Amino acid sequence: MSLRKTDKIIAVLGVIILVCAGVGIYYYQSGEGDEEINGEPQETTYMVTWEQMSDSFEVKGSVDKTAYTKPIIIEGLEEGCVLTTVSVNLTWSDDKTMGKLFNKGEDTLTVKIGLPGQDSKPVKSTGGAKGKDIGTFIINDRPLDEEIIDVEDEAAVDALILGEYMGMNTATLDVKVTWEKGESILTIRPLKLLNFFLDKGNNFKLMVSYQYYKYTIKEPEDFLMDDFEPEDNDYEPTTYSYFPSGQIRC
């Protein structure tokens, strides 16, 4: 029995539809296999990079016969950040010193700052100071610039980083500032004697500067593109010519 032309066309279309359906099912199942193997999601490689950042703030205080002992606290950084160094500078002026050519009777501030439980060297300043270096303190080591972790997703990377660097985003420094009056009661000059009784202490400022590191997570396609280096367009490959004698010449 011979088929009509229209029947042949319908038969061909049917075969094409079956082939397309089979290809679609194959790729659909292949996609599922990429996402899960034996019912478990595949692990992906992520890159963790650290960026150095800095900030500062000012502490205002005053000292008299009683020492100033309020600690310096660095806080407020996001969890996962790593605080590495803290530097402290002192600024102050003696507000009761008098004299046109020579300042006599200058007060002295002694500043002692350090990490809890560690002995620190006292720094003396007489007559005043502007940005005098008190010290730089190492809080934590710098985290690794790059760290590759095989995990399921970014949430798992965050969990690992937070677990490893928990609590490294804050620090406390012990502070002790004492004041020594420069004027003496053993004087016959009325103005200096007046300064002795009027001088009740001094104000000061501590500039606290700190550095810390903050992490970012890069997906595979991101850090692969970062590592890609385009070829040099000026590069000319060396060419060789073959000679029957077996010699190779440039």
* 193: amino acid identity, one letter: L
Using the predicted structure, report yes or no on whether residue 44 has a pLDDT greater than 70. yes
**Which of 55-69, 210-224, 236-250 is most confident?**
55-69
CB 22 within 8 A of CB 173: no
Report the distance separating Cα 220 and Cα 209, nearest Å.
36
Is the domain defined by 44-221 classed in CATH 2.60.120?
yes
The per-residue pLDDT for 109 is: 94
Is the pLDDT score of 194 beyond 80?
A: no
Q: In this predicted structure, what is the pLDDT of residue 86?
A: 98
Run of H or E residues at 172: strand 171-180
Tokens of 131: 């940005």
Average pLDDT over residues 88-110: 75
Backbone angles phi, psi at 166, to 5 degrees: -60, 130
DSSP labels, 57-88:
EEEEEEESSSPB-PPEEE--PPTT-EEEEEEE
How confident is the model over 55-74, as a mean pLDDT? 95
Domain boundaries, given as residue ranges, for the chain: 1-42, 44-221
pLDDT for res 145: 78
* Residue 123: both structure tokens together: 């720094």
Sequence-separated (6 or more) residues with CB below 8 Å from residue 111: 90, 122, 123, 124, 125, 134, 175, 176, 177
pLDDT per residue over 46-57, tens digit each? 889 999 999 999
Percent of the chain past pLDDT 70, that is, above it, reads 59
